[in-house]
Chain A
Amino acid sequence: MPKPLLSVEGVEAGYDDVRVLKSCSLEVRGGEFVALVGPNGAGKSTLLKTITGLLPVKAGTIRLDGERTDGLPPYAIAARGVALIPEGRRLFAPLTVLENLELGAFLPRAESQQEETLRLIFQLFPTLREKVSVPAQVLSGGEQQMLALARGLMARPRLLCLDDPFLGLARAVTNRFCQAIREIMAEGMTILAAGQHVRQLLRLANRAYLLEEGRVVLSGPGAELLKDERLRRSLIELIPGADQTMR
């Protein structure tokens, strides 16, 4: 079996005195789409923030391609090829679409491929091409989400972490988005995506992890997890309306 691209072992992390992740372990292999599902407060976002260096690791290790990255600052982890598309988009609002994209490709490795990546992005999202010189803040919600994903792609990351990529998107936009993600994966990118949209995520995913109270309680191929009784129970009991999301 090949060495995993990302391996998280026994990680504890959280905010100040609140320990959100309690001995959390998982693996992502190169070329995989791994979904991270679980009820609100299970620690999905916390795990992504810890992997990208926004939150400190209190115990355990995180390895990227076998090298430890826990304890490194976010810019150093970004330089090793990890990109995060955070929840709620978080673009540079007054900067133009193109400036946001250029900032995505700030790292030298990404900058050398900037033209090529831009062409791919404009193919995936033709709307962005028409709005290159418009400030990000005047885009619609869906367009901003596209720009956030596109900015993450500009970095040509080895591992792209997505935090709730479908939050607040209309169904048509979500479908367009899933299509774009499939095309991106064909380019050989590895994706770790967390979110509430369990059904869409599990359909896209090769494998998935179910997180509950800061621990991995279940893992397996996405399609299998989708049928799993424990996952249904966990999400349906804990998230009001989750049975709708599941269907």
Chain B
Amino acid sequence: MPRRGWIGTSLVAAALLLFPPLSGFHPYYLYLVSTALLFGTLATSWNLLAYAGQISFGHAAFFGLGGYTAALVSLSGLSPWLALALGGAVGASGAAAIGMASARLSGASLALGTLAYTEIWRGIAHNWTAVSGGGAGLIGIPPLTPLPWLPLDLARSRTGSYYLALAFLLLVIAVFWGILRSRLGLAFAAVREEEERASLLGVHPLPWKVLAFALSGFFSGLAGGLYVNMVRVVEPDLIFSHYFSILPLVMATFGGLGTLLGPALAALALYLASELLLHPYIPAFHQLPYALALIVVALYLPGGLAGLLPSPSPLPKRGEGETRHGAA
């Protein structure tokens, strides 16, 4: 990343760290930015899967599985912290399952398969009333308990969940950063570029694909668990909503496919623009930024926002412009 990029990123990180005291611990704004951070986690985990060539339209399934698991575990009286971790694990398993089931799918058929997967879980949540509470969902989800070694009072304030959301986002970015620099990243890139060629080099595509799904599902499940913990309810239509599948896709594409920070920064920018700038004034059209972002990417910015930076992105688009760009 160029120096200006690092400076900009550090400024955003500092602003995020200092935001709670600066906002005077305002509960509404804390909730809003926490949600934006959760979308950042979702968009980054979506991007991690896309790096392995798998375009998902079903991240709401992983998010919702994490949310329902966290809700059920904490309602059963176990620690809400354990509930969050199990939410991540179930998100990972649910994602690995669809990764394995769709082993032979790619492109548009994979997109449709993952889209249907969310619908399957929404149907189950609606109908398995004894466990999921049916359409009414589950309420009264207990808050996070204070931890003796943590100075923040997580039980009562929104500040706790804010910093937890920030930690999740930093964690998924750190993991993706590590992947980009490891054999794992090489294997993901090879599977993305062409499975047959990867196979000739000894890279068995399926396990790597399933691993990419599981990693992506884990962080989406963590985010889902924390989201449910923040809103204290979980309903099938609320959490298995395509909203949580399509927004991460739009955010990651707008930020820059395959880039480390683009999806998270785009998630923060788009979500906050939508909720803070548009929602109070034109509530009916407050989701306009997502539509505009998609149009801008399709027409003018094939590399997303990251394509504006002078360094070549790790996932360059094939074509004349990029070719010359890479040679420079």
Question: Which residue of B is nearest A95, CB measured?
Answer: B189
Task: Tell me what chain B mostly uses at the interface: helix, strand, loop, or mixed.
Answer: helix
Q: Is B14 an interface residue (CB 8 A)?
A: no
Would you mind naming 18 contact pairs between A and B with Cβ atoms under 8 Å apart? Answer: A52-B200, A54-B200, A75-B199, A78-B202, A79-B202, A83-B200, A86-B200, A93-B193, A93-B318, A94-B315, A102-B183, A102-B186, A103-B186, A103-B190, A106-B187, A106-B190, A111-B183, A134-B327
B204 on the A face (CB < 8 A): yes
Interchain CB contact under 8 A, A106 and B323? no
Q: How far is the CB of B311 from chain A (nearest CB, A)?
A: 11
Closest 3 CB pairs of A and B: A78-B202, A74-B199, A107-B202
B197, B199, B316: the one within 8 Å of A90 (CB)? B197
Q: Which residues on the A side are within 8 Å of B196 (C-beta)? A: 54, 74
Q: Does A73 contact B (CB under 8 A)?
A: yes
Instruction: Specify which chain B residues have a CB less than 8 angstroms from the CB of A93 in the assembled complex.
Output: 193, 318
Within 8 A of B (CB), among A79-103: 79, 83-84, 86, 90, 92-95, 99, 102-103
Cross-chain pair count, CB within 8 angstroms: 76
Q: Which of B183, B190, B199 contacts A78 (CB 8 A)?
A: B199
- Which chain B residues lie closer than 8 Å to A151 at the CB level? 201
Contact between chains at B199 and A138 (CB < 8 Å): no
Residues of A within 8 A of B186 (CB): 99, 102-103, 106
Q: Interface size on B (CB < 8 Å)?
A: 24
Q: Which residues of B contact A73 (CB under 8 A)?
A: 199, 204
A95 with B193: in contact, given A73-B199, A137-B326, A138-B327 (CB under 8 Å)?
yes
Q: How far is A155 from B315 in the complex, measured between Cα atoms in Å?
A: 25
Interface mask (A131-159 → B, CB under 8 Å = 1, otherwise 0):
00011011000000000000100010000
Q: Is the CB of B189 within 8 A of A99?
A: yes
The proximity string for A residues 183-204 relative to B, scoring 1 for CB distances below 8 Å and 0 otherwise, is: 0000000000000000000000
Given A93-B193, A94-B318, A137-B326, decide whether A106 and B312 contact each other with a Cβ distance below 8 A. Answer: no
* Contact between B193 and A94, CB atoms less than 8 A apart: yes
What is B's interface to A at a CB cutoff of 8 Å? 183, 186-187, 189-190, 193-194, 196-205, 312, 315-316, 318, 323, 326-327
Interface residues of A in 89-125 (CB under 8 A from B): 90, 92-95, 99, 102-104, 106-107, 111
Name the A residues within 8 Å of B201 (CB-CB).
78, 83, 103-104, 106-107, 151, 155
A34 to B198, CA, bound (A): 26
- The count of chain A contact residues (Cβ–Cβ below 8 Å) is 29
| A106 lies within 8 A of B203 (CB) | yes
CB contact under 8 A between A103 and B318, given known A92-B194, A134-B327, A138-B326: no
Q: Which of A52, A54, A137 contacts B323 (CB 8 A)?
A: A137
Please measure, in the bound complex, the distance between the C-alpha atom of A14 and the C-alpha atom of B183, giving whole angstroms. 34
Among A84, A94, A135, contact of B200 (Cβ-Cβ < 8 Å): A84
A111 to B182, CA, bound (A): 13
Give bound CA distance, A84 to B199, whole Å: 11
Q: A95-B189, A103-B189 given; name 19 further pairs at CB < 8 Å.
A: A52-B200, A73-B199, A74-B200, A76-B204, A83-B200, A92-B193, A92-B197, A95-B193, A103-B186, A103-B198, A106-B190, A106-B202, A107-B202, A111-B183, A135-B312, A135-B326, A138-B327, A155-B201, A155-B202
Nearest B-chain residue to A92, judged by Cβ = B193
* Nearest CB in chain B: distance from A165 CB, A: 16
The answer to whether B323 touches A138, judged by C-beta atoms less than 8 angstroms apart, is yes
Instruction: Decide: A106 near B183, CB < 8 A? Known: A75-B202, A78-B199, A83-B200.
Output: yes
A94 to chain B: which residues have CB within 8 Å? 193, 315-316, 318
Residues of A within 8 A of B200 (CB): 52, 54, 74-75, 78, 83-84, 86
Determine the residue in chain A with the shortest Cβ distance to B313.
Answer: A94
* Bound Cα distance from A84 to B194, whole angstroms: 15
Q: A79's closest neighbor in chain B, by CB? A: B202
B318 near A137: Cβ-Cβ < 8 Å: yes
